[in-house]
Amino acid sequence: MSDISLTNNDDLKLFRTCCPEMFEENDVDIFRKFFCPISIIEADVKEYIVDEYDSVELLVLRLYSAGIRDINIINELTGIDIHMLDKVLKTEIYTYGHINPNTGELTEAGKQTLEDNKDIEKLFQHALYDVKREIQADSLTGTIIRAEAEQPKEKMVTFSDRINPNILPLEAVVIDSELEKEITERLQMYIKEGYLTDGNTINEIGNLRSKEIRYRAAFFVKMRKFEYPFIAISYFEKKEEKWEKYIIPIAIAKSDSIKFDYPKRNKEYLVREDRYFEYLLEKKELFDNEVKLTEDAIREIILSNDYNDSNDSIIDESRDVVNG
């Protein structure tokens, strides 16, 4: 049996330090560590790639759309080398997805690219193409996890009866307009940080589907004056050559957010509709226990301007799991 440490005063102190606004005239009733199911979500994304879709590719696509699809005829009309034409057509099919490899017809992305580039005097041409991106969401509220708080899949565990305690995931991750907006912002961040080619812009978020479920250490938290419990996770960020640990909620219920001064800050957590926390509320009895810090510990936190973790390097969260 593998049991995760249920209580940890250091973690509770750190949570209070990271989110002091929640403790104004309030306190924590439940702060329990558990294995939280995480959905690995794959998103179909339509993206524009600018400046790299050159005139040769566009010319070939226009001829193909007009019914001129024989590579030898295209060669006679354009003078473009046969080998280059072969490469261009394969790129249209397998890279951009402009031509359906099964039917040989233009896809919607191909048609849209021609429509977007019908002005031949435009300085830059661009292509619309389909890509897939992976993101993570907790499978109990269906909320996307912040990029810096994601944990590599290989460091999470698959489900078994030997991990305890845990909460089984919902049947499907809830996807709504707010979640899709957050996903769009995440993908824009990928572009900004160079994970995607410079010049790409997201055009559309398509299907979202959960590929697999993994489990990671997290905290089941219930504040005394809140109606709904929420999930908090720990992660590390490097600041001034030093790794610092944070414990932040993934999201909290909307009705609870109005009970305190909800912060607008870099470490801001999401506020979502109450209905997304109903499943957590149903599971509250699994974790019922009262957790308090001593008055000395609370005083220490209030007087401290900052909290420094005793370890300077990242320590795998799995250190809290005891293998029996």
Is it the case that residue 2 has pLDDT exceeding 80?
no
What's the total number of domains in the chain?
Answer: 2
Domain span at residue 23 reads 2-39+140-169+215-323
Domain assignment present for residue 98? The answer is yes
Q: Does the structure show a pLDDT above 80 at 28?
A: yes
Q: What is the mean pLDDT of residues 272-298?
A: 76
pLDDT exceeds cutoff 50 at 200:
no
Q: What is the mean pLDDT of residues 291-307?
A: 50
Tell me the whole-structure pTM to 2 decimals.
0.61
Mark whether 14 and 70 lie in a shared domain: no
Q: Is the pLDDT of residue 11 over 70?
A: yes
Residue 236 tokens, joined: 């590390």
Percent of the chain residues topping a pLDDT of 70: 64
pLDDT at site 172: 53
**Same domain for 29 and 60:** no
**What's the mean pLDDT in 79-95?**
84
Q: Is 167 within 8 Å of 36 (Cβ atoms)?
A: yes
Claim to verify: residue 32 and residue 83 sit in the same structural domain: no
Which of 39-53, 117-131, 169-183, 227-241 comes out lowest in average pLDDT?
A: 117-131
Distance linking the first and last C-alpha atoms of the chain: 5
The answer to whether position 197 is within a domain reads no
Structural domain contains residue 87: yes
pLDDT at 193: 58
Owner of token pair 């109903």:
278
Residue 189 inside a domain? The answer is no
Q: Which residue has the higher pLDDT, 172 or 56?
A: 56
Residues 94 and 243 in one domain: no
Query: Do 97 and 232 fall into the same domain?
Result: no
Please give the average per-residue pLDDT across 134-145, as a whole number. Answer: 85
Q: pLDDT: is 103 or 266 the higher one?
A: 103
Q: Please indicate, yes or no, whether residues 248 and 153 belong to a single structural domain of this protein.
A: yes
Q: What is the pLDDT of residue 224?
A: 92
Q: Is the pLDDT of residue 249 over 90?
A: yes
Contact yes or no for 112/128 (Cβ under 8 A): yes
Contact 224, 26 (CB under 8 A): yes
* Domain closes at, from 124, 153, 177: 124
